[in-house]
Amino acid sequence: MSLSDLLPRRAGLSFVLSSPSGAGKTSLASALLAYDDNLKFSVSLTTRRPREGEVDGKDYYFVSRNEFERLRDRGDLLEWANVFGNFYGTPRDAVEETLSTGQDIIFDIDWQGMRQLQSHNLKNLVKVFILPPSKLVLEKRLYKRALDSEEVLKERMNRAALEMSYWHEYDYTIINDDFDRSLSTLNAIVVAERHRTGLQIGINNFVREFK
């Protein structure tokens, strides 16, 4: 029997990152995924049109409204929401398959999606809320991206305060005033959560080998 056979396996973790648009959660998630091989991104379904550079199956699964509603009504989505007139949702099968292998998964969703995941009793859920350093910085980030119309940008700013009012429902809160520091903090959270005693499968057998 090899050492790898003796080491305890670990249950998969579900990391939820939420923030108002422009606070940096997607950039932080991408950076974390770039060097953590045991972390997989939960690719959402959406009915909106692809933006320039987005790849179907990598950034989102782009589907028609009819297809989205069919999956939703059949119970194939763990969570879904209508955001600025477009539907977004998380495919159930892909998430459950990933977690069953002991791999961790990261969700880039809002507080409504987080609540729905909780209502489905998704195991080992870790919730992190990303806050912008100030209202002015958030506004500048949104306008600099220039991905949406003026009307949608104003709507996003109006919605930001509401979204941030749910920060207290999360396990961790990060103020993203410095990207590298925020990424380091997020990585520390991931590492710490992976070492929770309750997640170690078969650790009793591992300890018995020392008797």
pLDDT in tens, 136-171: 888 887 776 656 677 777 777 888 889 999 999 999
Q: Name the pLDDT band for 2 (thresholds 50, 70, 90).
A: very low
Q: What is the pTM of this model?
A: 0.83
Residue 3 has pLDDT above 60, yes or no: no
Percent of the chain with pLDDT over 70: 93
- Parse the chain into domains and list their residue ranges: 3-42+103-208
Q: Name the pLDDT band for 4 (thresholds 50, 70, 90).
A: very low
H helical segments located in 8-134: 25-35, 65-73, 92-100, 111-119
Q: Name the pLDDT band for 35 (thresholds 50, 70, 90).
A: confident
What is the maximal distance between C-alpha atoms in the chain?
68
The larger pLDDT score, comparing residue 184 to residue 203, is at 184
The larger pLDDT score, comparing residue 144 to residue 104, is at 104
The larger pLDDT score, comparing residue 139 to residue 63, is at 63
Rounded to the nearest integer, the mean pLDDT of the chain is 87
Long-range pairs for 136-139: beta carbons < 8 A, 24 or more residues apart:
138/20, 138/22, 138/23
- Mean pLDDT over 188-205 rounds to 86
The larger pLDDT score, comparing residue 123 to residue 16, is at 16
Please enumerate in sequence order all residues whose Cβ is within 8 A of that of 17, keeping only pairs 6 or more positions apart, or say none.
Answer: 25, 28, 29, 106, 107, 108, 109, 128, 130
Which tokens sit at 49? Answer: 């049109």
Give the pLDDT confidence score for residue 189 in this predicted structure: 97
Cα distance between residue 57 and residue 55, in whole Å: 6
The larger pLDDT score, comparing residue 200 to residue 112, is at 112
Residue 127 has pLDDT above 60, yes or no: yes
Q: What CATH architecture does domain 3-42+103-208 belong to? A: 3-Layer(aba) Sandwich (3.40)
Residue 31 has pLDDT above 50, yes or no: yes
Instruction: Please answer whether residues 76 and 92 qualify as being in contact, where contact means their C-beta atoms are separated by less than 8 angstroms.
Output: yes
The larger pLDDT score, comparing residue 137 to residue 128, is at 128
Q: Name the pLDDT band for 67 (thresholds 50, 70, 90).
A: very high
Alpha-carbon distances, residue 122 vs 20, 52, 138, 142, 203 (angstroms): 23, 33, 31, 32, 23
Give the pLDDT confidence score for residue 137 in this predicted structure: 87
Give the pLDDT confidence score for residue 1 in this predicted structure: 42
- Mean pLDDT over 97-121 rounds to 89
